[in-house]
Chains A and B, each alone.
Chain A
Amino acid sequence: MNKFPAWLNLLVLAILLVGMLLALPNLYGSVPAVQLADANGGDLSEERVAEVTRLLEASEIVPEASYLKDGRVVIRFHDGEDELAAAARERLRSAYDGELSVAPTLAPKLPAWVRALGLSPMSLGLDLRGGVYVLLEVDMDTALDTRLSLYEQDFNERLRDAGIINRAEVDGSVITVRIREAEELERARQIIREADDEVLISDGVDGRSLRVRMTDAQIQARKDLSIEQNITTLRNRVNELGVAEPLVQRQGEDRIVVQLPGVQDPNELDKILTATATLEFRLVDSTRELPGTRQYPGRGDEPNQYLKREVVASGDQIIDAESGFSEGQPAVFITLDSTGGERMLATTLDNVGQPMSTVFIETRRDTVIRDGVAEQRTIKTEEIINTATIRGVFKSSFQITGLTPLEARDLALLLRAGALAAPVYKIDERTIGPSLGQDNIDRGFQAITIGFLAVIVFMAIYYRAFGLIANVALLSNLVFIVALLSVLQASLTLPGIAGIVLTVGMAVDANVLIFERIREELSAGSSPQTAINSGYEKALSSIADANITTLIAAVVLFAFGTGPIKGFAITLSLGIVTSMFTAIIGTRAIVNLAFGGRKLESLPV
């Protein structure tokens, strides 16, 4: 009685060994390092590692190790060699400007064999390593408005090209197209259909107009596209900043989470992240009478202008932008994509001698307090930074002036990284300094250690030998939680540590239930062997019920929780699952080995 078959003992041992191996990378600590990533998101090669190492060694910067990790090159230095790491960063930045994004980071000091197994330590949440967390909301109304304006312009031009005199107007979510001659209504419908075969077209009440709306599917697709484009743009911007292991991720319907470990200055980040600065090029309407013409204010000394409704080219058609100087003035050198280039060519061909303006557009959101309630208000600034006469025909490359040097630099960065498809607003931002992160780690670790010690001392005194067995289970439970967190690469946060601490306290519950049951059985007169067997068997349904109910709470917490709370839910859930294994099967294996199949007078429980 009370013997596990050999295979089961071996299985338990094997699982424990695997757990220890997976948890192992966490013991090495981390050292200063530099991380290189392909600026275009591709994977780097082994040749690149060798090349970078040679380059550094030529400058007498000798790294401790360099290797490839997830398509990125990691250059690692010894502990305390922060200055060397900084020198390496500068050297690499100047060598690979624009080609590779170079970022300072901390790398785990894993020996090569551990790395070769593909193992890595737990990833730490921002509250433990320091950094910036930003939750951005994408302004979907603006995204849809922009799309509607494009439709409006497109329909208007197509109808005009077909000789139909019309006026198109966006009103809320509807584009109203008014036709002068009622008999051309059907032909107009045809043309709009050709332009887009999905939109909903209905007749206006006056019999001379069409009302065009986007379908729900189109609206959804547009929203998805806006988010996706914004994520791409934000990734590019973050890469321009040089941050290791950035996270840019969609959250829910219209939000984007950005996590930047190690970034300390939220002000610098703000300027780059949520900036919507972009450009539009429009022709000046000297008659001031064309439909849709309106007045734009000039920035500073620039005169105000009446500009035509049609946009010649806009920021999202810009594929490259560099800041510099032209004739002593700060300038941005712009390259348009082929569509933008064609349009610019056609416009300049037709309008030599006419003035064209560059409009600088910026959207930001302010908080205003109205009747004691804080509300968000969108402020859009459109200013003419420059108006120039078209002197000759040009296509995709040209330059603009009218900005300060700093503005030119930021604008070039933003245009290069791509414009945001729709404005984004920061609705939640948390910056954690590195000192607080380290404090949190130290304190959390201390709490775990002391809490753990208190529990094992208590268990050893209270249940003697069985208590010691429960303690082995408790320790392996910790190993398993760490192992699972390392494998899943789920971020460990301060509430996550609290979850582990709580698990330590609660994990002994299963053993308490079993041991108390064994004591009961013994005092009811059972033999030690029977007591062990029925103690484990009868406690099982209680243990299962108790753990499943706690798991329900943890899963609900995971589903509803955000950020750090999720971290708590994860460690709590993992802890519950692993503790079931260690407390039931793990302790039984040891109990069976120690006491099973022998004649016993009493049990040390």
Chain B
Amino acid sequence: MRLIKEKTKINFLGESRRKVALVVSLVVVIASIVSLATRGLEFGIDFTGGILLEVGYPEAADLEGIRSNLLASGFDDAQVQYFGAEDDVLVRLPPQEGDSRAIRERLQEVLAAGGQTVDLRRVETVSPQVGRELTEQGGLAMIFALMMIFAYVMFRFQWKFAAGAVAALVHDVIVTIGFFSIFGLPFDLTVVAAVLAVIGYSLNDTVVAFDRIRENFFKLRGIAADESMNVSINEMLARTLITGLTTLLVLFALLFLGGEAIAPFSIALIVGIIVGTYSSIYTASATALLLGVSAQDLIEPVKDPELVDDLP
């Protein structure tokens, strides 16, 4: 069975296609940046600090009632919403004044008002200080990962490829985070983890394509660089799509079955993998071409591309 026909000859990197792709990428990236700058992100309490309670009620909960109870007790900045089901309620509060234990006890009383037996499923109290640190660490982690990856691709290929790979990754990160901003999805610590996994995945795609490009630079001598890259991308197209598909299969399983807590994580990965697949075809190779990559660039560093092969 084949998803696509055996020998595709799609002109991914032709002049006009490249321009269209560039415009599409620019529009999406700019939209993401604008949204991030104006709307920002729905940061979870991991980053903002505050109090979060997940409460299970014996039957469908009355959100309005809970809200007015909280309001009456002085918690006027509480966000109340269903969490996955109608008998499961999530309450979020910004950092509160006073002793945290007393506040929590009061919240528990308010939520169990009316003598309902409630199941306190989760309580998180994060100080703003920890939130600030996590934000800083998350940002640092991304920058550090990108630097390490640039170094690795430079070592394995050449700086023009490394620049292409990193451009594709920056593109993926901005668009994935932008997606969360545009659609107002909750951005918590697991999303940062997902974005880093997207970096790994998208790079995986890019590197596999680069590997084939390098091979073809040698095999198809005398052909222009963009031609040779296009052949390579076509040759890897089936693999790119199939791996993307199997990964998306499990991620959709995770999204629909993994529960509410892991949903933002799944969404980030799904968006990131779709964007990453696109970017490894367009952004990475197009950037390398833009930088004038040619077969000459690879002659020095590559002595034996199958150095690691020691199988019988």
Contact A498 B254 (CB under 8 A): yes
Chain A residue numbers with a CB within 8 Å of B235 are 520
Q: Kindly state the separation between the CA atoms of A390 and B265 in the bound complex, as whole angstroms.
A: 66
Contact B192 A565 (CB under 8 A): yes
| B72 contacts partner chain A, Cβ-Cβ < 8 Å | no
Question: A267-B105, A428-B127, A459-B246 known; A367 and B97 CB under 8 Å?
Answer: yes
Within 8 A of B (CB), among A468-509: 494-495, 497-498, 501-502, 504-506, 508-509
Chain A residue numbers with a CB within 8 Å of B311 are 536-537, 540, 584-585, 588
Contact B121 A433 (CB under 8 A): yes
Q: Kindly state the separation between the CA atoms of A447 and B261 in the bound complex, as whole angstroms.
A: 13
Q: Kindly state the separation between the CA atoms of A375 and B187 in the bound complex, as whole angstroms.
A: 23
| B128 contacts partner chain A, Cβ-Cβ < 8 Å | yes
Q: Kindly state the separation between the CA atoms of A545 and B145 in the bound complex, as whole angstroms.
A: 16
Chain B residue numbers with a CB within 8 Å of A444 are 258-259, 262
Contact B56 A556 (CB under 8 A): no
Interface centre among A448, A462, A516, A556 (most CB of B within 10 A): A556
Q: Kindly state the separation between the CA atoms of A569 and B236 in the bound complex, as whole angstroms.
A: 28
Chain A residue numbers with a CB within 8 Å of B54 are 436
Contact B305 A541 (CB under 8 A): yes
Contact B259 A502 (CB under 8 A): no
Question: A452-B250, A498-B254 known; A549 and B121 CB under 8 Å?
Answer: no
Chain B residue numbers with a CB within 8 Å of A432 are 121-122
Contact A455 B257 (CB under 8 A): no
Chain A residue numbers with a CB within 8 Å of B183 are none
Q: Kindly state the separation between the CA atoms of A435 and B55 in the bound complex, as whole angstroms.
A: 11
Majority-rule SS of A interface residues? helix
| B218 contacts partner chain A, Cβ-Cβ < 8 Å | no
Q: Kindly state the separation between the CA atoms of A374 and B98 in the bound complex, as whole angstroms.
A: 11
Within 8 A of B (CB), among A91-129: none
How many pairs of residues, A versus B, come closer than 8 Å at their CB atoms?
Answer: 265
| B138 contacts partner chain A, Cβ-Cβ < 8 Å | yes
Contact B254 A366 (CB under 8 A): no
Question: A443-B258, A542-B212, A565-B189 known; A433 and B250 CB under 8 Å?
Answer: no
Contact A557 B257 (CB under 8 A): no
Contact of B99 among A364, A552, A562 (CB under 8 A): A364
A519-558 near B? 1/0 per residue, CB < 8 Å: 1100100000000000011101110111111111110110
Contact A564 B306 (CB under 8 A): no
Contact B254 A451 (CB under 8 A): yes
Interface size on A, residues (CB 8 A): 91
Within 8 A of B (CB), among A564-593: 564-565, 568-569, 572, 584-585, 588
Chain B residue numbers with a CB within 8 Å of A585 are 311
| B243 contacts partner chain A, Cβ-Cβ < 8 Å | yes
Q: Kindly state the separation between the CA atoms of A368 and B128 in the bound complex, as whole angstroms.
A: 11
Chain A residue numbers with a CB within 8 Å of B201 are 506, 550
Contact A366 B99 (CB under 8 A): yes
Contact B308 A544 (CB under 8 A): yes
Closest to A544 in B: B308
Contact A501 B250 (CB under 8 A): yes
CB B83 to nearest CB in A, in angstroms, measures 10
A365-384 near B? 1/0 per residue, CB < 8 Å: 01111000110100000000
CB A234 to nearest CB in B, in angstroms, measures 17
Q: Kindly state the separation between the CA atoms of A550 and B210 in the bound complex, as whole angstroms.
A: 15
Question: A428-B127, A440-B259, A536-B311 known; A552 and B149 CB under 8 Å?
Answer: yes
User: Given A451-B253, A455-B249, A553-B199, 19 more contacts at CB 8 Å?
Assistant: A8-B312, A267-B105, A428-B126, A432-B122, A436-B54, A444-B262, A498-B266, A504-B250, A505-B249, A509-B239, A516-B236, A538-B215, A541-B308, A544-B308, A551-B200, A552-B149, A560-B141, A560-B144, A588-B311
The 9 A-B pairs with the shortest beta carbon distances in the complex, nearest first, are A553-B200, A451-B250, A451-B253, A505-B247, A560-B141, A374-B95, A550-B200, A505-B250, A436-B121
